[in-house]
Amino acid sequence: MDLAQELALVSSSAIYAYLMHPEMQGKLNDECPKYEMRLTESVAENTLKSNK
């Protein structure tokens, strides 16, 4: 498996959220059904930021 394939696999399994409403979660670039904005923030990143 090359690097591009590995990155695609990680991106497809990661969970992302809408920045202003983190309860809206899904895959990268899915649209928030309520606000029609793209999901771009990694949920793991948001969790780490909020714990600092």
Q: What is the pTM of this model?
A: 0.55
Can you say whether the dihedral through the CA atoms of 2, 30, 26, 42 is positive or negative?
positive
User: What tens digit of pLDDT does each residue of 3-52 get?
Assistant: 766 656 555 568 888 888 888 888 888 888 888 888 888 887 545 445 44
Can you say whether the dihedral through the CA atoms of 3, 7, 13, 14 is positive or negative?
positive
